[in-house]
Amino acid sequence: MEPEAGAGGARASRSTRQKRALASVMAESRRFRSAQEIHEALVGRGESIGLTTVYNQLRALAEAGLVDTLRAPDGEILYRKCESNSHHHHVRCRSCGRTVEVKGVAVERWAERVAARAGFVDVDHTVEVVGTCAQCAGRHFASA
């Protein structure tokens, strides 16, 4: 019989110039950026790629867990390719966006505990820490 017989055999993903360019740009930034910013970065680098494609691919990458996402205060979705593939959290600079990944054994346990205490199951959580990074804080002092 044929490989993947039956209904809905997952079709192979194709390698395209656009996907490669996007992956490249995502790999080089340590910041969370919006789809528009990422598209600008691509164009600025001389790549030809549609904004719609950037949106589509970023969504696909996010669903596949290959990029992390978070909501900016204004609601925009920001994307980032993290170094770690396992569960982690972020400490992000509200000024420049620089982000560092951190493990959170303490919060993992805390989340489980308070949820269980409230009678909740199938628990999940969102934890984001935001502040001003050393570099941005220093810049402030310099100009003040």
Partner DNA sequence: CGCTTATTGAAAATCATTGCCAACAGCTTA
Partner DNA sequence: TAAGCTGTTGGCAATGATTTTCAATAAGCG
Quick check: 75 binds its own copies (CB under 8 A)? yes
Other residues' Cβ atoms within 10 Å of the Cβ of residue 102: 13
Please give the structure tokens belonging to residue 101: 């990944």
CB-based burial, 107-126: b 16+ in 10 Å, e otherwise? eeeebeeeeeeeeeeeeeee
Q: By C-beta, is 31 or 55 nearer to DNA?
A: 55
Quick check: 96 binds its own copies (CB under 8 A)? no
Length of the chain: 144
CA 142 to chain centre: 32
What residues contact residue 136 under an 8 Å CB cut-off, 6+ apart?
93, 95, 96, 98
Of the listed pieces 31-39, 81-89, 98-106, 129-137, which binds DNA according to CB under 7 A? 31-39
Quick check: 15 binds DNA (CB under 7 A)? yes
As measured in angstroms, the least distance from the Cβ of 135 to Zn ion is: 5
Quick check: 95 binds Zn ion (CB under 5 A)? yes
How many residues line the site for Zn ion (CB under 5 A)? 6
Q: Which of 40, 60, 63 is nearest to 50 (CA)?
A: 40
105 to 144: interface string for Mn ion, x by CB under 5 A: ---x------------------------------------
Quick check: 5 binds DNA (CB under 7 A)? no
Residues that bind its own copies (CB under 8 A): 71, 75, 77, 89, 91, 93-94, 100, 102, 104, 106-107, 110-111, 114-115, 118-134, 137
